[in-house]
Chains A and B, each alone.
Chain A
């Protein structure tokens, strides 16, 4: 499994460095210079985080830093962070390259640019550049959108927009969460490495579409197939032998944590902290009444709906789907009634990783990029979704994912972006208080 990933990424690394020399580096594709800066007696750090008006990190904002013995340009990383190690204390001038700010946003007129900060050794010195909604005219003058649009006021338009984003997140989350839920249902395993499967899908799509230059659809299909293969071989090489050894689910869960750590750092090994874009073209947006979504978003949502419907149909209507649900219900009984449980579990692993991979590809397109922690950030939401829906029930996972998606995005209406994940998790805890078995779960029996 690791080996497959390593080989695939090795190819990606080799060719991406070649590509970087030739193609015009887009902001997101530029590797950020933010290798975490650590302070010690001889080193200090200048650092900060830049966020878009939406609350998402502003990726690839260029900053020129002058002062001491430095004259350098760095850019913000996938998390919107920038940092620069300094070895000389004193004043530094930081200038934001306003052309690197994405369309639709400008530097707050109140912000100083360039700004002067006083750096010290053995200390982090922070500075915040605030970006707000607005437009930049051809002559460079900026018009700042009045605060009502970027503030926290609830208007119908904002509600509609966030609602649409919520549905979008919910659908993509559902794709990934259904697999996690099926794995849990059939094997009792909470797979902490499922997030990395999502990341893998996105990174593979980047590799094929961008680095190797394949057609996007073809690249997506190949990525999903490879992801499915990782699931198949994971079960064949790791999980089935471990089940045979009779290793308990808690132990297996910690094995998945180990796998998750190993995969995360494998991705970082090849990509560093950079965010890569699957589709380099600027997204084309579509207006639907008050809602504006990119074309990729709409297509992704369509694909997600179709695939989810297909999964539902298979689970309900086909023999294999019924067998899967039977194994989820009671593996011993299913085995006793002649179902080949190992075969079903193999199938579940294969399709779960395929779905996660697809989710990763679509997320990469919708969010404008993938990095090593794309899936990691999603994992908690997936867990929240399947817990909310009732552990181990596939349809519960769907419903849970939609709820979580909506909650996360609608939170933006009333709270700053920092809190959007937090709200989803608070809701999870509250639901557990009232209905511990989740929305669709059954109560446990004892004795």
Chain B
């Protein structure tokens, strides 16, 4: 993936320039505060057995820009995503008894709401919608059904209403129209009635993104949107992501491919071994020796060729194994 990326020639849009400008004066230091943060995270820790997968002290995500989250395999990016979106609970979450000290408990604020102890459903309802690293297209539903499932405010999703079609048919028509519009935009309209399972990997990524957009999110979180997408599609995918920002959405995405990160992101956050080690505008960060070191340091003896085999989970479990072994020998670093 990290080789031979076609150079892009898109022009910087007005909104893109504004996005870059909004964080122009911000210092490039980990945990720096931003002028207009949509998401603020404090003291998030997550341990698996003996290993700390995520340990982020403070991080802010600026509203209306594209923020890239990068880092080597096992850096804890996906776990971090899970923690923010309510799919996982921090080990440092406040508890009634025996929790962390007052100032050190995990706290996540999204768009003015405290979402630290909120489940995934509610987080999504608040407007933070995510996609998954391994695509979760609902493969035995058709493409259009997948899309409709993403919509909000369908009264027919209530059991008692569902029995009587006229009560939900009107909203269903609106949803379908919107879905078709989005499908057209993502060039999936001709697949409308195919099973989602029959799509290619890249098309599934697109479908997942389009489905997430059905709910008009405030912030969209993309976990490795380019993984497994063929080069021809990546170009349009990049365009779509930029278009989202231009429409006013906040985008946070995890990516391995440095060229793409450099190209489309307005701000870059680097994680390594669970911590935020650097952040700043893409140009600044990617030339930072600490970042290069973090990548090479963790990668130089790992084969990244087969991403499907070596998912973050596997890598983290490997790391956990290694850690356990080492702990018994009295060492502390993974």
Contact = CB atoms under 8 A, between A and B. Distances in A.
A211 to B, nearest CB: 51
B79 interface: yes
A447 B49 contact: no
B309 A445 contact: no
Nearest to B88: A446
A330 interface: yes
Interface in A263-312: none
Interface in A397-447: 442, 445-447
Interface residues of A, number: 9
B81 A330 contact: no
Contact of A447 (B88, B314, B317, B318): B88
Interface size class of B (residues with CB under 8 A): 10 to 19
Given A332-B309, A336-B309, A445 B314 contact: no
B296 to A, nearest CB: 23
Nearest to A333: B314
B193 interface: no
Contacts of B309: 332, 336
A447 to B, nearest CB: 5
Nearest to A445: B313
Interface string B213-245: 000000000010000000000000000000000
B82 interface: yes
Given A445-B48, A446-B87, A447-B132, A330 B82 contact: no
A445 B81 CA distance: 13
Contacts of A329: 317
Nearest to A330: B317
Nearest to B136: A447
B78 interface: yes
A389 to B, nearest CB: 18
Contacts of B88: 445-447
B78 A442 contact: no
B33 interface: no
Nearest to A337: B318
B186 to A, nearest CB: 23
Nearest to B306: A336
A333 B48 contact: no
A447 B48 contact: no
Interface in B251-306: none
Given A447-B78, A447-B87, A332 B314 contact: yes
Given A447-B81, A447-B82, A330 B314 contact: yes
A129 to B, nearest CB: 51
A315 to B, nearest CB: 17
A143 B313 CA distance: 69
Contacts of A442: 49
B133 interface: yes
B198 to A, nearest CB: 17
A262 B133 CA distance: 43
Interface of B: 48-49, 78-79, 81-82, 87-88, 132-133, 223, 309, 313-314, 317-318
21 contacts: A330-B317, A332-B309, A332-B314, A333-B317, A333-B318, A336-B309, A442-B49, A445-B48, A445-B313, A446-B82, A446-B87, A446-B88, A447-B78, A447-B81, A447-B82, A447-B87, A447-B88, A447-B132, A447-B133, A447-B223, A447-B313
Given A333-B318, A447-B81, 4 more contacts: A330-B317, A445-B88, A446-B87, A447-B133
